[in-house]
Amino acid sequence: MAPLAWRLAQRWCPSSLQVISFPVLQLHLNRTAMRASQKDFENAMNQVKLLKKDPGNEVKLKLYALYKQATEGPCNMPKPGVFDLINKAKWGAWNALGSLPKETARQNYVDLVSSLSSSLESSSQVEPGTDRKSTGYETLMVTSEDGITKIMLNRPTKKNALNVEMYHEIMHALKAASKDDSAITVLTGNGDYYSSGNDLTNFTDIPPGGVEEKAKNGAILLREFVGCFIDFPKPLIAVVNGPAVGISVTLLGLFDAVYASDRATFHTPFSHLGQSPEGCSSYTFPKIMSPAKATEMLVFGKKLTAGEACAQGLVTEVFPDSTFQKEVWTRLKAFAKLPPNAMRISKEIIRNREKEKLHAVNAEECSVLQGRWLSDECMNAVVSFLSRKSKL
């Protein structure tokens, strides 16, 4: 039994070990496990020196900590004094890795460097004023053309489920789009789904601090992620090409327009998953569609068709799937020709007085979810999905 699978089993379904298909869960976990060789590690160390942009102090601390853990094991330095700020930060980062095995630290170091190389290269490829295609992302396709930056979720074989890397890449792409010369930004999905929501395997990679630390990190990530949507300064449009689940639905309340194919459905099965609403939907949905209709979706998990979502104000307009892409993109190209500063300022005046409230709602939702992720209701639902026992 792999230690992670064992920990999951013990914590997630303490009283019903016999009903979980461990071989299936373990197979799933093993499939995602990778090992970096010493050579990969050395290559990554060389790559760090070649980075064209400073990745920032937080990332440098992570790199330092992973390097030390990979080469020396758990932190063996005495804690520096209060005024030794730099060494204290380094010590803190290393010490936080606890007893993380050397091989895992080596793998994490290699992964982090590889994600840095791609994301920093992609932003440095951006030439203002020229159309471009960013190939630096692992989980997205980002293009900028005709005044439109298109961020396409690109894990079609996983129904565009949002894994941790995708959360980070979307934040990166949104930050880049907020500064580029496009007039509007579009989020859409590749393949038959818009997105199946949070990737439930995000719950399997348990850090040394256990599930509590995992839940805390998840809440921090979610808060930052949703914050990027709240603060996005240009018109942000969702082109919902197919079914949308979970967080990909709740976020729609923060978009400026939502165009949907008539194949799309909108499903927020939070109670089924032992979870609670996020993406500011506990505030935006009752305002958009009335508290009772929001309750049907967010509490009872009622799945809406595109037509129903449009009637309730969550979707701006629905198009037949056969003409969806053509009609929507023609319309978006016309919008993108409007004066960008006027659009920005008009968005600001529509949205700004709500911003503070939205950030407060976001913080509260993340804190409630952090607790839900530790509940048996949630853990059982995730184990059940991973062991192929249930789907929505």
In the complex, which residues of this chain contact ligand LG6FSS7D (CB under 6 A)? Answer: 158-159, 161, 196-202, 218, 221-222, 245-247, 273, 275, 278, 385, 391-392
Q: Which is nearer to ligand LG6FSS7D, 141 or 392 (CB)?
A: 392
Q: Which of 287, 304, 306, 288 is nearest to 296 (CA)?
A: 304
> Which residues partner with 145 through β-bridges?
148
Q: Which is nearer to ligand LG6FSS7D, 143 or 250 (CB)?
A: 250
Least gap, CB of 260 to ligand LG6FSS7D (angstroms): 17
**b/e map 1-14, b = 16+ CB within 10 Å:** eeebbeebbebbbe
For residue 174, the one-letter residue type is L
Sign of CA dihedral 225, 229, 232, 236: positive
Q: Which is nearer to ligand LG6FSS7D, 24 or 77 (CB)?
A: 24
Q: Please state, in angstroms and rounded to a whole number, the distance separating the CA atoms of residues 166 and 28.
A: 20
> Which residues partner with 144 through β-bridges?
132, 149
Only one residue has tokens 């093993």, namely: 30
DSSP 8-state assignment for residue 195: B
Least gap, CB of 295 to ligand LG6FSS7D (angstroms): 17
Q: Which is nearer to ligand LG6FSS7D, 67 or 255 (CB)?
A: 255
Label residue 146 left, alpha or beta by phi (over 0 means left) and psi (-120 to 50 means alpha): left
CB-closest chain residue to ligand LG6FSS7D: 246
Q: Which is nearer to ligand LG6FSS7D, 202 or 284 (CB)?
A: 202
Least gap, CB of 258 to ligand LG6FSS7D (angstroms): 17
Q: Which is nearer to ligand LG6FSS7D, 11 or 158 (CB)?
A: 158
Q: Please state, in angstroms and rounded to a whole number, the distance separating the CA atoms of residues 338 and 332.
A: 10
Least gap, CB of 211 to ligand LG6FSS7D (angstroms): 13
Least gap, CB of 269 to ligand LG6FSS7D (angstroms): 6
Least gap, CB of 250 to ligand LG6FSS7D (angstroms): 8
